[in-house]
Amino acid sequence: MFEWLFSPMAQSWLIQGVILTVEITLFGVMLGLGLGTLLAVGDIYGKKPLKAAIAVYVEIFRGSPLFIQLFLAAYTVPTVLNIRVDHALMAFLVFGLNSAGYQKGYVKGAIETILGDQMQAGVSVGMSRIQTLRHVILPQAYRIVIPSWTNEFCSLTKSTSALGYLGFMDLTGAGIAIKGSTYEILPVWIVIAAIYFVWITSFAKLMDVVYEKKKIPGVELLMAS
């Protein structure tokens, strides 16, 4: 059942798979957070055309299947434009762009809960709006966003399994390859699922610790009152 775990071939696929999955999820959520923050700020302060463009962007990425976004970016777009690109790089970008569509909402919500008085205070001491965002608003907003961001991470990690079916050697791709060479089905998926589980759970637990550590003393009491 599990003898294949000792085969060097299967081991090397699994290692490749873990590396790609970890890289792509970390890169995806980080790019998503950075881009999501820009989109949130643009949506709050931008003029109407910018807001409309942001809304279109968000709806396209939230409203269409990730699998198709990946397929278009990795295969169709390079073919149509007749350019040679690294497929993995395109996949990285799609996860970042897709995650930004979701994270924009989390960041915008967090910014808006703290914007009013804190922006006035920041501007009153002579800082620009951008300085105030950078030094006052975002440090508070990111603290609020951590739990939603952790959820986004969990969800994004599992979405990366679409890569395996597009021919990438991520964890799911490794599973498909091992399955093809060993004819074991259930045991392979059990192992793959366990690896996803360990990765997601340990990262989520780590973020819980960060969330507690970064809490502003006394502020949760203020928010409840």
Partner 1 sequence: MVDNVMEAKHVFKTYGKSGKKKQEDEQFTDKEHIVEAVQDVSLKIKKGDIKLIFGPSGSGKSTFLRCMDMLEIPDKGEIYLGDECLTSKGVDLCKARARIGFVFQHIYLFRHLTAVGNVELALRQVLKLPKEEARKRALDALAEVKVSDCAFRYPSQISGGQAQRVGIARALARNPDIILLDEPTSALDPELTGEVIDTLRDLAKEGATMLIVSHEMPFAREVAEEMIFYDEGKIVETGPPSLFFNAPNTDRARQFMTRIINRTTR
**Contact at 8 Å (CB) between 166 and 177?**
no
**Residue 80 engages partner 1 in binding (rule: CB under 8 A):** no
Among 5, 22, 66, 127, contact with partner 1 (rule: CB under 8 A): 127
Which of 135/205 has CB closer to partner 1?
135
Question: How many chain residues bind partner 1 (CB under 8 A)?
Answer: 24
**Contact at 8 Å (CB) between 153 and 207?**
yes
| Alpha helices (H) in the chain, listed in sequence order | 8-45, 48-63, 66-71, 77-81, 87-124, 129-132, 138-159, 162-165, 171-182, 186-214, 219-224
Half-sphere exposure (CA, 13 Å, Cβ side) for 101? 20
Which of 132/160 has CB closer to partner 1?
132
**Residue 120 engages partner 1 in binding (rule: CB under 8 A):** yes
| Sign of the alpha-carbon dihedral angle for 210, 212, 217, 219 | positive
**Residue 182 engages partner 1 in binding (rule: CB under 8 A):** no
**Residue 216 engages partner 1 in binding (rule: CB under 8 A):** yes
Among 128, 151, 201, 202, contact with partner 1 (rule: CB under 8 A): 128
User: Hey, how many other C-beta atoms are within 10 angstroms of the C-beta on 151?
Assistant: 13
**Residue 180 engages partner 1 in binding (rule: CB under 8 A):** no
**Residue 118 engages partner 1 in binding (rule: CB under 8 A):** yes
**Residue 126 engages partner 1 in binding (rule: CB under 8 A):** yes
Which of 131/201 has CB closer to partner 1?
131
Among 62, 135, 158, 205, contact with partner 1 (rule: CB under 8 A): 135
Chain CA centroid to CA 132, Å? 26
As measured in angstroms, the least distance from the Cβ of 135 to partner 1 is: 6
Candidates 99, 106, 194; CA nearest to 156 is: 99
Positions that interact with partner 1 (CB under 8 A) = 114, 117-118, 120-128, 131, 135-136, 139-140, 143, 216-219, 221-222
